[in-house]
Amino acid sequence: MDIRERQHGEVMVLTPQVSRLEASNAQGLKNALIDQITSGRYLLALDLSNVDFMDSSGLASLLSALKSLGPHGHLALFGISSKVRKLFSITRMDHGVFRIADTEDEAVDSLQSTSSGL
């Protein structure tokens, strides 16, 4: 999976270059997120602005990465389309599970403020 990476302060921002996050490519996203974590990056922001559709496999890849971060890492999502946001709402993953922001700056700020409290 093609994923663009850029450092924004202490936060690694990742942007998957796919319009659909589903069974055929969710493992690629999971692997990319796990690679970041094993490289010592614990503040991750995922830009989903290119993703128009996500199924349960995509959601599972995000949950797996979140679990791998453990108590010392954080994942924020931003740029979520209305269709994908509906999946988070239906599954209630937008309440207390995933940190969801509207913009990259909001996601980065929330992650950096969390890390300063550690």
pLDDT in tens, 44-100: 999 999 999 999 999 999 999 999 999 889 999 999 999 999 999 999 999 889 999
Give the Cα separation of 58 and 22 in Å (integer).
5
Give the Cα separation of 14 and 4 in Å (integer).
6
φ, ψ for residue 101 (rounded to 5)? -125, 160
Q: For residue 87, give the amino acid letter.
A: L
Strand runs labelled E in the chain? 3-8, 11-16, 20-21, 43-47, 53-54, 74-78, 99-101
Q: Is the pTM of this model over 0.85?
A: yes
